[in-house]
Structure 1
């Protein structure tokens, strides 16, 4: 189906459902994060989201609908056929953030020959765990079902995300089935285990009442421990699962469970790799000079496992 037909189909779909307007309290984006970080990292620049020559954008595609509620994605497509594709899941503590967060990385992936898809999903204030994970899997199914229109190879799909999106991508990827299977995962500074002492120190802090994770799970670890465990990607390590690239910041709290998960994967013969960008803040992928090494490591990893 030509791009115009896809856009017309999206227009028909969006007539029956809507995407909520931007929430002014949702401030997890590059400009607000820049303001918080620039004093300590005066050399950073917000990574460009300008569409480069040779990459086309297919915006506002409805991939799931709940009543009148639309979930949308944007596709960034280089020229070519049977392209590998990366589905990108934004961060924001499960409660905030926008799919636009990953546009700069999507564009750089597209310039390397990868189709890239940025998705919105239901945040914790709208729907608790596991809604966001199911949404990410629904996006993979939509991409696979529309492989011909997107000129992508349905056998070469990766899930990637940052922060909460990294955890969602990892969990959706290791538990995917029924058309949501992926061939590789990239977890950028997302938790691998909610139940470690390090993770609980921050994610289960009673002073936060609730913490970001507690809001997503609907209760503290002491009350909803089964959900906290089930949402930990490390609990789902199994033979035959997709390989994972872990890209970490210089903030140890976000690496909780990473080394243990890699060790479990190694014992089962599942490949993994990691890149730790020492001295970086969380949300480093929003900014230059850190986005390029993040993208380069992702491309190198995917070149091994999606080709």
Structure 2
């Protein structure tokens, strides 16, 4: 009997230890590490650290989705002053090849947007070491539903929400927007009674197609999609925003570096959008590295382009 009890205790300890295993993390993509790398080629750059206005409130690590294994959170920057009609919202999606990065990397952009009169929400989503496509899309749409469910607290106009993403986040921002009302791209975890639809997209150097003459996607894409193109082309197409363009697509602005591979499919997308009379803009920043949005002298022009577009869509 004693041996049996010891056996069951060992099993219990083993199960508890397994349940408490840390979430796998890839910390290779950081703002500091990227700065050190890019400064070797452009010694004049500086990390952008805008000051948050006293009129802006900050909420950290708000739980938007509870899963059995853990909770997912957002950081929120929003104007304190209440106004009639409330403020438009932006959900910010970090880059990192769908494998690395975290929501803190969109904090500077969120502060700048909140200073300009937007409810800015930095979202944590599950990366490829933890969950494969389309779980990240599910997470982001869940966060948008959370925004609507908490609109009174955030002074948010629920009819005016945009995605904004950088690099891999730009691909996600566009895919989320171009799959409005498509239930195949969302789960029902977290505020299922709310809509996940968005009304505008800000794509900052995010690819639009994974299998395209301009695209150079490889290991990172295959890891996230959990297959190569040859193994399952339909998955690659379903994750490509270019394949989701329709007359229901929201207006979009492309803010791009001078490196063509990071906006693969953009010109084809614009041609399709034009055929549906969907508004789009393109702004290319000359002589820029891919992660230009982190640094001066490009941070302010990036913010200005984004705010001007969002003001045109939501405030004019």
Normalising by structure 1, report the TM-score: 0.88
Residue 297 of structure 2 is matched in structure 1 by: 289
Query: Within 5 A, what are the aligned runs for 1:15-34?
Result: 23=25, 25-34=26-35
**Deviations 1:43-86 (Å, cap 9, x if unpaired)?**
11111165442222111111112103111000001233301111
Alignment partner, residue 143 of structure 2: 139
Query: d(CA) in 2 for partners of 1:258 and 1:272?
Result: 11
* Structure 2 CA distance for aligned equivalents of residues 294 and 126 of structure 1: 31
Distance in 2 (CA, whole Å) between partners of 1:51 and 1:269 is 37
Alpha-carbon distance in structure 1 between the residues aligned to 2:139 and 2:297: 31
Distance of aligned partners of 1:248 and 1:43 in 2 relative to their CA distance in 1, 3 Å threshold: same
Which residue number in structure 2 is paired with residue 116 of structure 1?
Answer: 120
Conservation of the 8 A alpha-carbon contact between 1:217 and 1:224: no
Distance 1:87 1:78 in 2: 15
How many pairs align? 282
Correspondence for 2:204:
188
* Equivalent-residue separation in structure 2 for 1:274 and 1:63 (angstroms): 32
Aligned equivalents of 1:173 and 1:131: distance in 2? 16
Structural RMSD (CA):
1.8
Q: TM-score, normalised by structure 2?
A: 0.86
1:273-284 pair list within 5 angstroms: 273-284=281-292
> Are 1:85 and 2:99 counterparts?
no
CA distance in 1, matches of 2:123, 2:50: 15
Tell me the equivalent position of 1:198.
214
Q: Does 1:56 align with 2:57?
A: yes
Is this contact kept in 2: 1:49–1:103, CA < 8 A? no
Gaps of at least 5 residues in structure 2 are 1-19, 182-193
Partner residue in 2 for 1:234 = 242
Instruction: Pick one of 150, 153, 160 that aligns with 1:156.
Output: 160
Alignment partner of 1:254 out of 242, 251, 262: 262
CA contact (8 A) 2:99 2:128 kept: yes
What is the CA deviation profile of residues 172-223 of structure 1, one whole-angstrom value per residue up to 9, with x for unaligned ones?
A: 1110226011110001100111110221xx313xxxxxx1001001121111
Q: Is the 8 A contact 2:23 2:130 kept in 1?
A: no
Partner of 2:228: 220
Q: Aligned match of 2:277 in 262, 269, 274?
A: 269
Q: Which moved more, 1:161-170 or 1:77-86?
A: 77-86
Structure 2 SS opposite 1:262: helix
- Give the Å deviation of 1:21: 7.2
Identify if the C-alpha distance between structure 1 residues 79 and 45 changes in structure 2 by more than 3 Å, giving closer, same or farther. same
Look up the match of 2:41.
40
Q: Distance in 2 between matches of 1:303 and 1:69?
A: 37
Provide the secondary structure at the position in 1 that maps to 2:230: helix
Q: For the residues of structure 2 that align with 1:276 and 1:225, how far apart are their CA atoms?
A: 30
Superposition deviation, residue 134 in structure 1: 1.2
Shift in Å, 1:22: 9.0
